[in-house]
Structure 1
């Protein structure tokens, strides 16, 4: 899948880069396939502590390739022909498009989307799967599906209201209107703006990678989809209990007291600590 997505790893940070700039990184079957395979390849890498999702060219992702829409006129869903690895056990995402977006939420480590230019329709939904979205002030974001007579089907109806609330999600979905990166931040659709989103995302990812990787993974589990208060507070205590006095937590305290940078051990393969 190297012709569509390129993955590099540097000092604990993986960068997954869409590499179809001549088509604005639009989503066809090959692009969907490459995105899911790239994410799945990171799932069991214990040396990766953070991920940056970025794109070559002036646009992050302009949404579905027009050939996909042409096929829809006759009722054909080309995305269903993608050859993908099995989804994670218990994953709610099974359709191809949902996998391409939600797979980032299912990674154990934080994922930061660096968005420049257009992030439209499916492209925006992929960015919604990330934990953070750093966008150019002049970026253009839109829940564009209504323009094509459709609704979001890549997890957008689940992820969007969690970020912006139901009223704003309805506004964006019913109208298909575009918002700038600056307005996206104001709405809660994006985390913050940066003139160079990729550089800012990589800097943030390296900052995260320098923290206790067990604590970072625990935090991602705790800050996932909302749970009932009692369940959330119990999970919080379980995660805290698993971390306290663990080797990396002791190293964090020792390094802080000694005024030096901590040296953390990466998690061992296997199920995560705590109940999450």
Structure 2
């Protein structure tokens, strides 16, 4: 089971907790990203659930991005869809019109940072974990739909650092640049932040919240299909494809990647 699901009754409504438990690094594959997107679709249609908390019980990783071993074993003609799955999942998050609180309680690299920035309320442990958009470090351009949401979230003077340098941040640093809303010293404190915020939002009519959230994410979705086509097209560029596979192989072999 890649995701544990449970309901949590708050004072003003029910939240669903989704616990990521995909593998030892909580990394993403095409299959488990499709599964998470399907879960969001189910919750979207469930009128008894007002919002979502996404978390992890992994002692080290919240979500460590795309799974290196799976990508290396993916047939070349399927690689575009395997990597592009994170863009599709990002779209699923943006179209999910109920409030989402995310608890970054382990490393959140690449895809982990992507689902974090797509969420409404972002909380992170102060120590023991980092977050960052590390796509450029494995030779991948950062997709435009990610960049637009980062621009809506991060303080302007840090956008180039976040997007172009693969910088990673501890909790307090992530809060300082605007990537995270608040930090906590323990998982228990993270949960208090999440539940307090959702319970506050649950006081308001859900129809108002859902339509307002759709308006918030409208800009990031306007050019979504163009950006998705662009990101898929990058894999027709041999050097981008070769750099990604070299980076994944280097991760497996615990060495420094040699990129072109």
Q: Structure 2-normalised TM-score?
A: 0.72
Question: Which residue is 1:250 aligned to?
Answer: none
Superposed displacement of residue 29, structure 1 = 2.2
Within a 5 Å distance, the mapping from 1:229-248 to structure 2 comes to none
Higher helix share: 2
1:202 aligns with 2:195: yes
Question: Which residue is 2:171 aligned to?
Answer: 181
Cα RMSD (Å): 2.5
CA gap 1:32/1:221 in 2 versus in 1, 3 angstroms: closer
Superposed displacement of residue 165, structure 1 = 4.8
Tell whether the 8 Å contact from 1:4 to 1:30 is kept in structure 2 after alignment.
Answer: no
Residues 29-73 of structure 1 show CA distances to partners (whole Å, capped at 9, x for unaligned) of 23212211111111211122111111221221011111244257x
Select 1:127's aligned residue among 116, 128, 137.
Answer: 116
CA gap 1:76/1:192 in 2 versus in 1, 3 angstroms: farther
Superposed displacement of residue 169, structure 1 = 2.3
Q: How many residues align?
A: 211
Select 2:208's aligned residue among 211, 215, 224.
Answer: 215
Superposed displacement of residue 167, structure 1 = 4.5
> What 5-or-longer segments of structure 2 have no aligned partner?
221-260
Give structure 1 regions of 4+ aligned residues with deviation exceeding 3 angstroms: 74-79, 221-227
Within a 5 Å distance, the mapping from 1:89-108 to structure 2 comes to 95-108=84-97
CA gap 1:211/1:122 in 2 versus in 1, 3 angstroms: same
Q: Counterparts of 1:198 and 1:105 in 2: how far apart (Å)?
A: 23
My pick for the range that moved more, 32-41 or 218-227, is 218-227
Q: Counterparts of 1:172 and 1:124 in 2: how far apart (Å)?
A: 11
CA gap 1:225/1:192 in 2 versus in 1, 3 angstroms: farther
Question: Which residue is 1:4 aligned to?
Answer: 2
Q: Counterparts of 2:218 and 2:94 in 1: how far apart (Å)?
A: 10
SS of equivalent residue, structure 2 residue 45:
coil
Superposed displacement of residue 77, structure 1 = 4.4
Q: Counterparts of 1:79 and 1:191 in 2: how far apart (Å)?
A: 33
Select 1:63's aligned residue among 53, 62, 65.
Answer: 65
Question: Which residue is 2:135 aligned to?
Answer: 145
Superposed displacement of residue 185, structure 1 = 0.8
Question: Which residue is 2:46 aligned to?
Answer: 45
SS of equivalent residue, structure 1 residue 224:
helix
CA gap 1:189/1:176 in 2 versus in 1, 3 angstroms: same
CA gap 1:154/1:44 in 2 versus in 1, 3 angstroms: farther
Tell whether the 8 Å contact from 2:33 to 2:86 is kept in structure 1 after alignment.
Answer: yes
Q: Counterparts of 2:5 and 2:145 in 1: how far apart (Å)?
A: 24
Tell whether the 8 Å contact from 2:18 to 2:54 is kept in structure 1 after alignment.
Answer: yes
Tell whether the 8 Å contact from 2:55 to 2:103 is kept in structure 1 after alignment.
Answer: yes
Tell whether the 8 Å contact from 1:97 to 1:153 is kept in structure 2 after alignment.
Answer: no
> What 5-or-longer segments of structure 1 have no aligned partner?
83-94, 228-276
Which gives a bigger RCO, structure 1 or 2 (Cα 8 Å, sep 6+)?
2
SS of equivalent residue, structure 1 residue 216:
helix
